[in-house]
Amino acid sequence: MFNKCIKSFAYFTIKDRLPQILTRVIDTLHRHKNEFFEEHGEKGVEAEKRAISFLSKLRNELQTDKPVTPLEDELPDSALWNQYLDYQRNLPNGNGEPSWFQSPWLYVECYMYRRIHAALAQNPPIDNFDVFKEGKAQNFFESQEAIIALCTYFQELLKNIKDLDEKQLQEELFKLLQVSLWGNKCDLSFSAGEDSSQKSSPLQSLENMIPYILVNDMEKVWSLLVNAKKNRTERSNVRVDIILDNAGFELVSDLVLADFLLSSKLADEVYFHGKSIPWYVSDTTKHDFNWTIKQLGSANHMWMSRCGINWEGNLKKGVWVFRDHMFWTLPHDFSSMSEVAPDLYAELQKSNLLLFKGDLNYRKLTGDRKWECSVPFHQALNKFHPAPLCSLRTLKSDTQVGLKPGQGEEIQASDPEWMYSYKVNSSSSLGT
Ligand SMILES: O=P(O)(O)OC[C@H]1O[C@](O)(CO)[C@@H](O)[C@@H]1O
Ligand SMILES: [Mn+2]
């Protein structure tokens, strides 16, 4: 249970940030009223009104600490959500009826996004409208400079990638892992929808960002990939899975990393895991994934379009695969995946390396517990070991493991707000 001590980030999130996010969603629907009318006539406007009343009711429940209620929609995952609510009700140290301020932060925050989805899904004909679409597209367009810099850098690198020796390849892998790691700063749920696009060139600042990397297992990632390649047989491809986080600049940095893994022959195929419903404001859905690649392919910048066209080709060839299992948008920790979603667990077991992007994934990997910072990452995974995995995460919440003894205290002394200072970054923590 996450105690909501008043100064905790959890309290601030539930009390202030989530209502802010809900208000933005309601405003977005208001602003699309005419579009709904043009597209669907009166039915569209009626549906918009109903969705807004759903969301206003939700905001009131949240702000007045009402009980968490079972989902009444017919969506495929509602039974799993209601089972999870029962589990919360029967927790031994629970405070009785789960409510917004008395239940674990991770649970109620996931629950809010699932209720937002229900507010749209239950009101056709606007049931497929993504209330976060604008924010994600805006992040993409406002990160153009950084995207151009990254695509240009990468296409230059591709020109002579065949001449690079192992040392040089390793260096390039480390650079692109860091770009993907820092790309995780660009998320709209932490910023409650405020602009969080990548303005500066992502490659310039890597050097002086090194000291902010708390746990750095990039060497282990490299040797794992080199060994996988050495042991590769005709039958067994080297497969890397990227469990995606935010659309916009972060997604482009993940796609460039994935292209590098293939072009350097460190991997033969990359599986991407996105969200099946709009989630945490900026998380990547299948639509966002395809839209981003199409945007690049049709860009009037040579290197952007070269990337986008290559990536469409990878999807057509099947060396890139996109999946969006419903488990990723349930409230469960990943330690329960083998039981709740055995098909997904079995799928991940086929991978040589799992790259988990972002803070929410990190919290679900570690059960969002207030671990001692020096608890080993492997232990915090709580038997979740489908394959060797690595988390690339910008620190945005209280959970942190895998630090050296005394490292947490040292940082605390230098920056008491380090947990949310955003600049601090716990990068790849490899749990073998
Ligand atoms: O996009 P990311 O890196 O998962 O960040 C999302 C994080 O932002 C927050 O919404 C901040 O409150 C966390 O709850 C969540 O873990
Ligand atoms: Mn996210």
Least confident among 1-15, 126-140, 328-342, 357-371: 1-15
Sheet bearing 425-426, strands edge to edge: 320-323, 269-273, 239-243, 353-357, 389-394, 425-426
**pLDDT average, residue stretch 11-33:** 93
Residue whose token pair is 């409650």 = 192
**pLDDT average, residue stretch 159-171:** 97
Which tokens sit at 130?
């993504």
Which atom from ligand 1 is nearest to the alpha carbon of 187?
Answer: 1
Q: Indicate if 390 and 258 belong to the same structural domain.
A: yes
- What are the pocket residues of ligand 1 if the criterion is a CB atom closer than 6 Å to any ligand atom? 13, 109, 184, 187, 189-190, 245-246, 280, 358-360, 363, 396-397
Residue 424, pLDDT score? 57
Query: Coil, strand or helix: which one is 218?
Result: helix
Q: How far is the CA of 34 from the centre of ligand 1 (A)?
A: 32
Q: Indicate if 59 and 189 belong to the same structural domain.
A: no
Q: Indicate if 112 and 155 belong to the same structural domain.
A: no
Q: What is the pLDDT of residues 329-367, one digit of tens each?
A: 999 999 999 999 999 999 999 999 999 999 999 999 999
Q: Does 110 reside within a domain?
A: yes
Query: Coil, strand or helix: which one is 353?
Result: strand
According to DSSP, the residues that pair with 241 across neighbouring strands are: 271, 354
Which atom from ligand 1 is nearest to the alpha carbon of 283?
Answer: 1
Q: Given ligand 1 and candidates 13, 187, 283, which is best to mutate, with the most ligand atoms within 8 Å of its CB?
A: 187
Q: Does 318 reside within a domain?
A: yes
Among candidate residues 58, 90, 121, the one where a domain is terminated? 121
Q: What is the pLDDT of residues 187-241, one digit of tens each?
A: 777 666 677 777 777 888 888 888 888 899 999 999 999 999 999 888 789 999 9
Q: Percent of the chain beyond pLDDT 70?
A: 94
Q: Indicate if 105 and 175 belong to the same structural domain.
A: no
Least confident among 159-163, 284-288, 398-402: 398-402
Report which DSSP code applies to 50.
H
Q: Indicate if 32 and 148 belong to the same structural domain.
A: no
Q: Indicate if 96 and 15 belong to the same structural domain.
A: yes
Total tally of structural domains belonging to the chain: 2
Among candidate residues 96, 121, 146, the one where a domain is terminated? 121
Q: Does 128 reside within a domain?
A: no
Which runs of consecutive H residues, i.e. helices, occur in 234-376? 249-263, 286-297, 302-317, 337-340, 342-348, 359-365
Q: Does 4 reside within a domain?
A: no
- Would the pLDDT of 12 be above 50? yes
Which atom from ligand 1 is nearest to the alpha carbon of 17?
Answer: 12
Q: Does 432 reside within a domain?
A: no
Q: How far is the CA of 359 from the centre of ligand 1 (A)?
A: 5
Q: Which ligand is nearest to the CA of 13?
A: 1
Q: How far is the CA of 215 from the centre of ligand 2 (A)?
A: 20
Question: What range defines the domain where residue 84 resides?
Answer: 9-121
Q: How confident is the model at residue 4 (pLDDT cuts 50, 70, 90)?
A: very low
| DSSP notation for 18-39 | HHHHHHHHHHHHHHTHHHHHHH
Q: How far is the CA of 275 from the centre of ligand 1 (A)?
A: 14
Which atom from ligand 1 is nearest to the alpha carbon of 245?
Answer: 1
CB atoms within 10 A of CB 211: 10
Residue 201, pLDDT score? 78
pTM: 0.95
What is the CA angle 303-246-257, rounded to 5?
Answer: 45
